[in-house]
Amino acid sequence: MLVQSSTLKHNSILHLISKLCLRLITKRMWHIDQPNASLRAGNLQCDINLESPQVGLQNTTAYQQRLSHNQFVQMKMGLEKELVAEAYHRGDDLITLYSSHSQRQATPQLYWRMLEHREATGIETIISLQTDLLDSRCPIRTSTKLVNTLAARALTEEGQWEPADSVLNAKAILVQLSSSISYLEIVHPTDLMNTLVQDYSETSITWEHTVLDLQLEKGVIRRARLQSWWLHNDSGLELTKELIDRFSQSTPPLTT
């Protein structure tokens, strides 16, 4: 009787462990097949070439709408091709550590973090820089290029939405991609150094953020954060405002 009871208990534990493992596998959103990584979440799918982060998020689909003709968050880190030292996923994060290079004075790490809030899905990009030099500089810029747009607005320092090409150093940029999908890009206010709208027309827009252009010292890690959101049916901008406020008031996350 005791042996039978012990066996049943053992089988129950194994069954529970199996269910937990299956749940973890099912919930895994990031998949790595170097040099590529892909996100497969419920309302957002995209691909990233880890060796070429300057091409940005590729093959993006949000709320079942394909947006693959757009280039979101192209990371300009000073090299045409990166050497990946390590890449792995942990929870909602895709983490990539890059090798040092003689043509760059600092070594970057990138974190792509899956986000969801109400009727919005997104990715937070966290850029981390450190150097072995006593004194160095390594500017990091991001660029987003969108086509077939319906409208584009930028948030001024006074909190007003204006046509995107008329605002210098915008706090956020909001672009209507279709009748139901809009795209919001925000750099954390403590990290943003400069925003430049490089190209703007009735149906396209390109902008560039400078997020890290500071003196670096050995032993000091510099970080910057940027959020990309795809919003579903937010014509009243209520959700847009909420996302901007939440991010602006947030504290830096742990990235180690």
CATH of the domain at 189: 2.70.98.10
pLDDT at 120 (0 to 100) = 97
Q: Return the minimum-mean-pLDDT range out of 103-107, 200-204, 228-232.
A: 103-107
CB atoms within 10 A of CB 16: 10
DSSP per-residue codes, 221-233: -EEEEEEEEEEES
pLDDT at 41 (0 to 100) = 93
- 253 domain-assigned: no
Tokens, residue 217: 């010292």
**CB contact burial 157-168 (16+ within 10 A = b; e otherwise):** eeeebeebeebe
> pLDDT over 70 for what percent of the chain?
83
Answer yes or no: is pLDDT of 38 > 70: yes
Angle at Cα 106 formed by Cα 103 and Cα 108, nearest 5°?
110
- 99 domain-assigned: yes
Its sign, for the CA torsion 178, 69, 115, 43, is positive
For the chain, the residue count is 256
Q: Tell me the mean pLDDT in the region 206-229.
A: 84
Q: How confident is residue 129, by pLDDT bands cut at 50, 70 and 90?
A: confident
pLDDT at 6 (0 to 100) = 54
Q: If you search the block for the tokens 């045409």, which residue do you land on?
A: 80
For 78, how many CA atoms within 13 A lie in the half-sphere containing its CB?
Answer: 19
Decide: helix, strand or coil at residue 218. Answer: coil
- 254 domain-assigned: no
- What is the rounded distance in angstroms from the CA atom of residue 238 to the CA atom of residue 226? 20
- 14 domain-assigned: no
Q: How confident is residue 40, by pLDDT bands cut at 50, 70 and 90?
A: very high
Answer yes or no: is pLDDT of 250 > 70: yes
Q: Tell me the mean pLDDT in the region 187-196.
A: 88
Q: Which residues are 215's β-sheet partners?
A: 137
- 192 domain-assigned: yes
- 197 domain-assigned: yes
pLDDT at 155 (0 to 100) = 95
Q: How confident is residue 4, by pLDDT bands cut at 50, 70 and 90?
A: low
pLDDT at 2 (0 to 100) = 44
Answer yes or no: is pLDDT of 212 > 50: yes
Picking from 91, 137, 98, 99, the residue whose alpha carbon sits closest to that of residue 115 is 91
Instruction: Provide the number of structural domains found in the chain.
Output: 1
> pLDDT over 90 for what percent of the chain?
60
Give the range of the structural domain holding residue 83, as residue numbers without chain letter: 32-248
Tokens, residue 5: 């009871």
Q: Return the minimum-mean-pLDDT range out of 58-62, 111-115, 197-201, 219-223.
A: 219-223
Q: What is the rounded average pLDDT for all residues in the chain?
A: 86
Burial class (CB in 10 A: 0-12, 13-18, 19+), 156: middle
pLDDT at 104 (0 to 100) = 72
- 190 domain-assigned: yes
- What is the rounded distance in angstroms from the CA atom of residue 169 to the CA atom of residue 189? 10
Q: Give the tens place of pLDDT for each residue, 45-85.
A: 999 999 999 999 999 999 999 998 999 999 998 888 999 99
Q: Which residues are 207's β-sheet partners?
A: 144, 197
pLDDT at 22 (0 to 100) = 39
Max avg pLDDT among 23-37, 171-185, 199-213: 171-185
- 131 domain-assigned: yes
